[in-house]
Amino acid sequence: MVEAEFTVKRYLTEFSLETEELLAEYDLGSFDLSKFQVEFDEPNTENPMFDCYTIKEKNVEFLREYLTNEPKWDFINRTYFIEAHAILTSSPTPRPCCT
């Protein structure tokens, strides 16, 4: 098996409600898993929150602490999500197939 090291990049995405087009991505400067689990009503404390979570107006104040660049919030024409992507941080370690 090939093994590699990954980190998780978490960010906010902004979509048009009319066209469903991705309009922007905003990096989260930091991420406190336990606080995000509470804020986004994730009951399973073992869940690493790799899923996509819908942002509501009630979440904006909480998110301001974590956003390095804040969107112009418009919940009438746009929708927002917290998302995660795995990023490769080291090359896979090759293993010999034959001896």
* pLDDT one-digit tens code per residue, 5-43: 668 889 999 999 999 999 999 999 899 999 999 999 999
Q: How many CB atoms lie within 10 A of CB 48?
A: 11
User: Would you call 66 exposed, middle or buried from its count of C-beta atoms within 10 A (0-12, 13-18, 19+)?
Assistant: buried
Return the structure tokens found at 24: 């922007």
Domain boundaries, the chain: 6-88
State percent of the chain over pLDDT 70.
82
Displacement of CA 34 from its chain's centroid (Å): 14
Residue bearing the bigger pLDDT, 46 or 59 = 59
Residue 3 has pLDDT above 70, yes or no: no
Distance CA 26, CA 55 (A): 13
User: What is the reported pTM?
Assistant: 0.80
Task: Place domain 6-88 in its CATH homologous superfamily.
Answer: Cloacin immunity protein (3.10.50.20)
